[in-house]
C-alpha cells in the first residue's frame, strides 16, 4: 500500500470512529460533574455524530460502512457495559433510520441536522427500552425525555452543526 492510500477515507474514517469512541468516555469522565449534575444526565455521542456525517455526505459507498457500524457497536458494548447487544442495536437502528431519512430529505445543513436529531432520539430510545429488558431502568419516560434526551440532543446537534462544514471539506479531501 502506497503512503497516499493511507489518507483515503476508508482508512481514516474507522480510525477517527475508534478514536471518538474513547473520546466519548473520556469526556463523560472529565466533564462528569457538568454532564451528570442532578437531575441532568447528558451523554456525549460524538461516535454517532461521526456515523451521521458518513450518511449525510454519502461516504458509505466508499467503504464497508455497515461493518464499521456493527464493529463499533460491539466494541462499545464490550468496553463500556459488558452486556452485548444494546449499543450494537442502538447504533445499527439509528444509522438505518438516518439512511432512510436521507433518501427523503435534501442535502442542506438543516435537513441533515434534523436527520441527526431523529437518529439520536432513536439511539437513546433503544437504550431506554434495553434497560427494561435487563431490569436496570429507574426513570420514567417523561423524566428521561426531559433530563436526558433533550439536553443530549441539544448538545450533540450543536457539536454536529459546528463540525459540519469542516468535516464535509475533510471528506472531499479524503475522497
| By CB under 8 A, residue 45 contacts another protein | yes
C-alpha cell at 1: 500500500
C-alpha cell at 50: 461521526
| By CB under 8 A, residue 51 contacts another protein | no
| By CB under 8 A, residue 82 contacts another protein | yes
| CB-nearer residue toward another protein: 62 or 75 | 75
| By CB under 8 A, residue 78 contacts another protein | yes
Please identify which residue in 43, 54, 95, 122 interacts with another protein, judged by CB under 8 A.
43
> C-alpha angle 15/13/158, rounded to 5°?
100
| By CB under 8 A, residue 154 contacts another protein | no
C-alpha cell at 137: 431502568
Q: Is the peptide bond before 55 cis (omega within 30 degrees of 0)?
A: no
DSSP 147: I
Please identify which residue in 8, 10, 41, 113 interacts with another protein, judged by CB under 8 A.
41
Instruction: Identify the three-state secondary structure at position 64.
Output: coil
| By CB under 8 A, residue 136 contacts another protein | yes
User: What residues contact 132, with CB distance under 8 A and at least 6 apart?
Assistant: none
- Confirm if 160 and 49 have CB atoms less than 8 A apart: yes
Please report the DSSP string for 68-86 in residue order.
HHHHHHHHHIIIIIS-SSH
| Stretch touching another protein by CB under 8 A, among 57-65, 73-81, 105-113, 161-169 | 73-81
Residue 17 CB, nearest approach to another protein (Å): 13
| By CB under 8 A, residue 166 contacts another protein | no
| By CB under 8 A, residue 68 contacts another protein | no
Please identify which residue in 36, 100, 169, 172 interacts with another protein, judged by CB under 8 A.
36
CA distance 150 to 152: 6
Enumerate binding residues for another protein (CB under 8 A): 18-19, 22-39, 41, 43-45, 75, 77-89, 124, 127-128, 130-131, 133-140, 143-144, 148
Amino acid at each position: 500500500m502506497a503512503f497516499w492510500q493511507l489518507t483515503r477515507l476508508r482508512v481514516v474514517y474507522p480510525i477517527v470512529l475508534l478514536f471518538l469512541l474513547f473520546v466519548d468516555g473520556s469526556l463523560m469522565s472529565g466533564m462528569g460533574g457538568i454532564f451528570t449534575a442532578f437531575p441532568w444526565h447528558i451523554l456525549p455521542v460524538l461516535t454517532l455524530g461521526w456515523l451521521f456525517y458518513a450518511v449525510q455526505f454519502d461516504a458509505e459507498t466508499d467503504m464497508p460502512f455497515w461493518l464499521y457500524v456493527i464493529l463499533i457497536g460491539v466494541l462499545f458494548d464490550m468496553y463500556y457495559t459488558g452486556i452485548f447487544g444494546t449499543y450494537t442495536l442502538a447504533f445499527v437502528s439509528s444509522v438505518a433510520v438516518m439512511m432512510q431519512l436521507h433518501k427523503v430529505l435534501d442535502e442542506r445543513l438543516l435537513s441533515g441536522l434534523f436527520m441527526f436529531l431523529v437518529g439520536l432520539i432513536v439511539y437513546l430510545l433503544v437504550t431506554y427500552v434495553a434497560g427494561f429488558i435487563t431490569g436496570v431502568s429507574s426513570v420514567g419516560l417523561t423524566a428521561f425525555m426531559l433530563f436526558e434526551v433533550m439536553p443530549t440532543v441539544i448538545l450533540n446537534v450543536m457539536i454536529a452543526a459546528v463540525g459540519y462544514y469542516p468535516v464535509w471539506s475533510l471528506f472531499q479531501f479524503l475522497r
